[in-house]
Amino acid sequence: MSRKPKKGYFVRGQFVAEGSELDLEYKRELKGGLDGPSRTELKRESTELQELGTDLLTLRKDLMDSLTLPDKLVDGLAEAKRITNFEGKRRQMQFIGKQMRLLSPETLQAVREALDIQRLGSAKDTQALHLAEAWRDRLMADDAAVVEWIAHQPQTDIQQLRALVRQARKDAVPVSNATVSQGLAPRQSRAYRELFKFVRSVLTGGESDHTAQEEAEDE
């Protein structure tokens, strides 16, 4: 006994059975999407939320604490940070993606804004770091730079600045041709690192320095 053929139609050589998911999607598209988002749109949204959940893993604690997130999501993020197994991490990130899809539009917007604040803050920190490095090198190389610094930053403790510059110059390690050819940087003195901290502190108005770049300066 032959099977009764399914009702349907062909689209670009592919048979679409009536009542199938693909059939319903085509019908929604023909109606202008009035019945809801298409499968493609849903997939795009799901991917975006998955990536947003991944970005949350890098969010600073103070910014994370400012968000009102469900306990399941918070616990899931903490667990994802602990997992090192690739497959386990992948499954955990899928769980986080599902939790992200349950968040309200307002909460999702708050998450995006927190991540933007962190990115902008990082860019600002990097710019301040480079400025401090440039000033440190100029102060060590030229007395005129010390005079210029004091003119720009009159609130500076001049005695401390001159002492740090003098000691950093005294402790400076000469760079040999062999060191340069090997691409090696000489280990800098404590005064050299302290001068950087001093300059950075003045430029940032006394804010504490906690960037990874500065930690490298202290090594």
115-174 tens-digit pLDDT: 888 887 777 777 888 898 899 999 999 999 999 999 999 999 999 999 999 998 988 766
Give the dihedral sign, CA 129/131/134/135: negative
Domain 10-103 has CATH 1.10.60: yes
Domain ranges of the chain: 10-103, 125-173+186-217
Tell me which residue has tokens 């975006």. Answer: 48
| Dihedral angle over CA of 104, 27, 19, 49, nearest 10 | -20
Neighbours of 2 (CB within 10 A): 4
What is the Cα–Cα distance from 211 to 125, expressed in whole angstroms? Answer: 7
CATH annotation of 125-173+186-217 = 1.10.60.30
Q: Are 108 and 48 in contact (CB under 8 A)?
A: no
Is 15 in a helix, a strand, or coil? strand
What is the distance, to the nearest Å, from the Cα of residue 71 to the centroid of all Cα atoms in its chain?
23
Residue with tokens 């803050």: 121
Nearest by Cα to 94 from 76, 109, 106, 78: 76
pLDDT band at residue 92, thresholds of 50, 70 and 90?
A: very high
Range in 75-89, 136-150, 171-185, 192-206 with the lowest mean pLDDT: 171-185
Look up residue 4 and give its two tokens: 């009764």
Angle at 136 between CA 170 and CA 195, to 5 degrees: 60
Check if the beta carbon of residue 107 is closer than 8 Å to that of residue 67.
yes
pLDDT band at 44 (very low <50, low <70, confident <90, very high): confident
Which distant-in-sequence residues (6+ apart) come within 8 Å of 172 by Cβ? 140, 189, 192
Q: If DSSP codes are grouped into helix, strand and coil, which group holds residue 6?
A: coil
What's the confidence (pLDDT) of residue 5? 57
| Domains 10-103 and 125-173+186-217 belong to one CATH topology | yes
